[in-house]
Amino acid sequence: MRILYFLFILISPLLISADEVNDPFEEINRKTYEFNESLDTNIVKPVAEVYSNFPPKVKKGVTNFFNNLEEVDTFINQFLQGKPKESVNDLSRFIINSTIGLGGFIDVASKLGLERHEEDFGQTLAVWGVGQGPYIMLPFLGPSTLRDTLSRPVSSVLSVTFHMTESDVNIALKSIDALETRERLLEVESLLSGDKYAFVKDAYVQSIYYEIKDGINVEDEFTDDMDDFLID
């Protein structure tokens, strides 16, 4: 799944070009992107590079732990999107991994054949027919759309960490989650070239498209577009 996801990021310009993305705030967005880049270069990336040297089993356990926390958000949104079967699947994953999987550090559910999904309230709004609106680059948080930005408060309430009473623990978990995500991007950031802002914008919008579609029929669209590209 991860390889397929990155493939879609790489070929995103073929499916959704920068000109097709609604970006009326591009001037402000680019300045925000530069700010985020500076913050990343000087603080986040160096820490992520240190974390990348941790033993693979440790990093895998951390990834599994945060994936498990996201299962609650996912199973609720699956239900809201009218997918009860997938909702039960994701709730089962959370229960199994939280117990047998030692708090989520071991992904037992996948070994039992329960597939992992990723859903959030932004995708739920899309299923309900809400348009994505203009592209927005958020300070500290990165790329988004108006729809995804407005969905963030609901997604926060649905997250497990939101309901933790200890604020220090909440902040620590979110920081580690962000670090873990940044470390996984180290292996692909070298693929960025040219106008990085446009590349990130295209890739983000394409990833939203892929997630909303649950990957269904996207491969066929890619094949058709690639054929047209090669013929031209």
Please state the domain extents for the chain: 2-219
Residues 205, 24: contact at Cβ < 8 Å? no
pLDDT at 176: 87
Average pLDDT over residues 193-218: 81
Average pLDDT over residues 4-15: 46
Q: What is the mean pLDDT of the chain?
A: 84
Closest C-alpha among 209, 232, 193, 184 to residue 2: 184
φ, ψ of residue 209 in degrees (nearest 5): -60, -45
Residues 174, 161: contact at Cβ < 8 Å? yes
φ, ψ of residue 108 in degrees (nearest 5): -70, -35
Q: What is the pLDDT of residues 59-112, one digit of tens each?
A: 999 999 999 999 999 999 999 999 999 999 999 999 999 999 999 999 999 999
Burial class (CB in 10 A: 0-12, 13-18, 19+), 65: buried
15 pLDDT higher than 80:
no
Q: What SS3 class is residue 97?
A: helix
First-to-last C-alpha distance (Å) of the chain: 30
φ, ψ of residue 145 in degrees (nearest 5): -130, 170
Closest C-alpha among 224, 222, 184 to residue 206: 222
Residues 118, 212: contact at Cβ < 8 Å? no
pLDDT at 197: 93
Which of the four pLDDT bands, split at 50, 70 and 90, describes residue 14? very low
The rounded percent of the chain whose pLDDT value lies above 90 is 59
Q: What is the pLDDT of residues 164-181, one digit of tens each?
A: 656 666 677 888 888 888
